[in-house]
Amino acid sequence: MGITQNALTPNFPHVLDEQIRHIVEIIQRAQSVQARSIEPTPEAEAEWVDTIRRNSGLNLQFRMDCTPGYYNAEGMPGRGGIFDELYGPGPVAFYDLVRAWRAHGELAGLRMD
């Protein structure tokens, strides 16, 4: 977790709250099966990178219209800046996605050993 490959929101405490809930649920699941390690499978990692890249351009026009700065690579979004690989549908859709993934129960794409 972090600020990349998830969703940008102006309410950073909300980001932290969502990430804490996500991490705690995964750790609790790992403890329930007495796992000593948690790793994404290579396939799941590649699928997530593909998801981000397919969806990152959805907010490109918004970033192009903003005043040049840190968030839009000084007015050149889409050229590899830190926010070019965010989940394009936005924070509400992102948090719904990870909540649904956890609620499904199997934590698909994670290997717990």
Percent of the residues in the chain that have a pLDDT greater than 90, as a whole number: 48
User: From the CB of residue 56, how many other CB atoms can be counted at a distance below 10 Å?
Assistant: 19
- In this prediction, residues 94-110 reach a mean pLDDT of 94
Helix (H) or strand (E) holding 23: helix 12-32
pTM confidence score: 0.81
Please tell me the distance from the alpha carbon of residue 68 to that of residue 3, in angstroms, as a whole number: 19
Answer yes or no: is pLDDT of 97 > 80: yes
Domain parsing of the chain, residue ranges = 12-112
Distance between CA atoms of 52 and 35, rounded to whole angstroms? 28
pLDDT in tens, 33-57: 999 999 999 999 999 999 988 887 7
Q: Predicted confidence band at 93 (pLDDT cuts at 50, 70, 90)?
A: very high
